[in-house]
Amino acid sequence: MKKFFSNGIIYSVLYGTIFYLINFTLNKNNIQFMNWIYYLSYSIIILCFLIGIFQLLIKIKNKIKRNIFLVIMTIFSSIIIFISIYFSMLAYNPEYIIVKDNKKMVATVKSFHHTYINYYDYINPIMKSRNVIDSEHYSDGRHNPFKEDMDYINLID
């Protein structure tokens, strides 16, 4: 039983399975997690998996093989973490909890060349509905009406 709890790969697989089962159940009920839950869960899965691989490598008895595998795994882990951070930054869509038409909603801002704002029903701090209630489109990719430090004067020009 001690070996079962000393392996991060097992934790990664268990957490991933439970997360995807919960996510599947929520999607069938037209509910989804907020984006921060996805980012947190993917980070936990990747880190547990990498820790589990390092735990397996440390158990190798031959020091030369162990050191070679540890160096390779360290380089591989650095690349995986860098790629994960890079794609997370590209896929980042900020969410704001707002009140619109006297109703609490979640606004998701997707912007690159154009800005699309989708509004969802707010359920609780970790969940929102899957159905888009309202949507807005702006031709300027920099436009984010919910960001407080936005310089709106430059948007007019």
Q: Please write the tens of the pLDDT for every residue from 66-107.
A: 888 888 888 988 898 888 888 877 778 889 888 888 889 999
Task: Decide if 74 contacts 68 (C-beta within 8 A).
Answer: no
User: Model's pTM, two decimal places?
Assistant: 0.76
The pLDDT-based confidence of 157 (bands split at 50, 70, 90) is very low
Number of Cβ atoms within 10 Å of the Cβ of 108 = 19
* Sign of the Cα pseudo-torsion (49, 50, 53, 54, in order): negative
- What SS3 state is found at 94? coil
Alpha-carbon distance of 12 to 75, in angstroms, equals 20
Q: Which amino acid is at 69?
A: F
